[in-house]
Amino acid sequence: MEIYNTLTRRKAKLDPIEPGKVRMYVCGMTVYDYCHLGHARVMVAFDVITRWLRQTGLDVTYVRNITDIDDKILRRAEENGESISALTERMIAAMHEDEARLGVLRPDAEPRATGHIPEIVAMIERLIEGGYAYAAANGDVYYRVRRFADYGKLNNRNLDDMRAGARVDVDEHKEDPLDFVLWKAAKPGEASWSSPWGEGRPGWHIECSAMSTCCLGETFDIHGGGPDLTFPHHENEIAQSEAATGKPYVNVWMHAGAVRVNQEKMSKSLGNFFTIREVLEVHDPEVVRYLLVASHYRSPINYAPESLSDARKSLERFYHALDGVEPAHGDVKGIYAERFSAAMSDDFNTPEALSVLFDLAREINRLRDAEPAHASALGQELKRLANLLGLLERSPAEFFKAGAAELPLSEAEIESRIEARATAKSHRDFAEADRIRDELAALGIVLKDSREGTRWSFEAPPA
């Protein structure tokens, strides 16, 4: 298996520190608001990565943190007139609901920043002892960026360039404008914890350094996150962790691609910012998941009506192939599994893996009448491989009828019209039968006649 490493800017064979085991940390959410589409991108990307690593026989420990103390959390709690714990618990519960609807498996551990304050304080103390950090007169503690010789290696930047174009807060307590905060002195009335430097709370970057090393050790296999975290967050994590331990922090760095909305950057200022739950109120969760899986995890994704329509049509092709085919085990010669494995082992190439599934679906359709037993075996293989991507976990009937939930007709009303059509046909009133079929088709309800009767499904109309 080869994985692209952001640090080295090339793909290389995955070589776990401990044979047969992979320790992976992914930066999670700051829980002051509902999760948005960018969070969904990271959730699904690393869910697929974890599923495939385990499929290859690796014992994966997947840790995704929760930042439950932060300036944004303090501000939002005050705006809402609620306690910090009430806000964060509510948002954590919502996050778990969102990821469950997207078919995302829960991480093995979800450490919270507030649960690791002693470890955070201890790491800061080690940095001060090593000359990498200093306590300022205002009670803050800062990291000396220039003290760490390799600073900038993840992003291939040098300090002089960063200093020239830096967007840094003017702070008279810093020795250098590039230095960043490790510990923030508490203002009156703010949530705080005791430390050798007075009451305060941790900076964002040090939280992840402490939580990851506490859960996975001083050096671990994979660290992942969103595209906006490479600088400064992950750069700062490297500087803190390696200065504190004297050891390499992470072997492989992985970053998911950004989500764009109608080819524009997603942002609240542009009015194109969507939470996961807003999207799932309108679109089937599996359709959204397919959209997120269909692009390579490092590539940007465009969220737009036509892309969601394409995603639904792709899923419809798979479910149509499975419709009426009884799953059965049989000899499929392993060619599809081999191609699927080759794609996923090449830096988790999901677009290529999905192309294998389309080939399977075409073969099922070709053989369903002539060789039903073989078609059934292929159907089982299609479901098995798709399940590794978190797809095709419903029956065709469940998928097609789920899409009809928002239609103006209930399922009983649809069945009533189908019965009326059957009656019209029996009386040779074909004009009325066609009228009913056309009425339903205009809503996206497709009728399929067979010897056993008429079945219906919902298919998304063209965008």
Alpha-carbon span 230 to 224, nearest angstrom: 10
Report whether 205 belongs to an annotated binding site: no
What is the DSSP track for 396-413?
HHHHHHHTTTTSSS-HHH
Has 383 been labeled as part of a binding site? Answer: no
d(CA 75, CA 204): 15
Residue 150 CB contacts under 8 Å (≥ 6 apart), including other chains: 238, 239, 242
| Token reading at 111 | 């450490």
What amino acid is encoded at 343 in this protein? A
Distance CA 411, CA 43 (A): 33
Q: Which amino acid is at 404?
A: A
Per the rule left: phi > 0, alpha: psi between -120 and 50, beta: everything else, 236 is alpha
Q: Distance between CA 360 and CA 386 in Å, rounded?
A: 11
For residue 201 the two structure tokens come to: 């709370």
Cα dihedral 421→422→425→429 (10° resolution): -40
* Residue 237 assigned ligand-binding role: yes
CB 175 within 8 A of CB 135: no
The CB density around residue 129, as the number of other CB atoms within 10 Å, is 10
Question: Residue 128's beta-bridge partner residues?
Answer: none
Tally the C-alpha atoms within 13 A of residue 171's C-alpha that lie toward its C-beta. Answer: 19
Q: What is the DSSP string of 34-81?
A: --BHHHHHHHHHHHHHHHHHHHTT-EEEEEE-BB--SHHHHHHHHHHT
What's the CA gap between 84 and 28, in Å, rounded? 18
Q: What is the dihedral of CA 137, 142, 144, 145, to 10 degrees?
A: -140
Residue 35 counted as an annotated binding residue: no
Sequence-separated (6 or more) residues with CB below 8 Å from residue 96: 106
Question: Which stretches of 398-452 are assigned E, i.e. beta strand?
Answer: 445-450
437 Cβ neighbours under 8 A, 6+ residues apart: 421, 447
Quick one: angle between helices 117-129 and 235-245, nearest 10?
A: 70
**Sequence ranges of the binding site for ATP:** 268
**Sequence ranges of the binding site:** 27, 208, 233, 237, 268
**Sequence ranges of the binding site for Zn(2+):** 27, 208, 233, 237
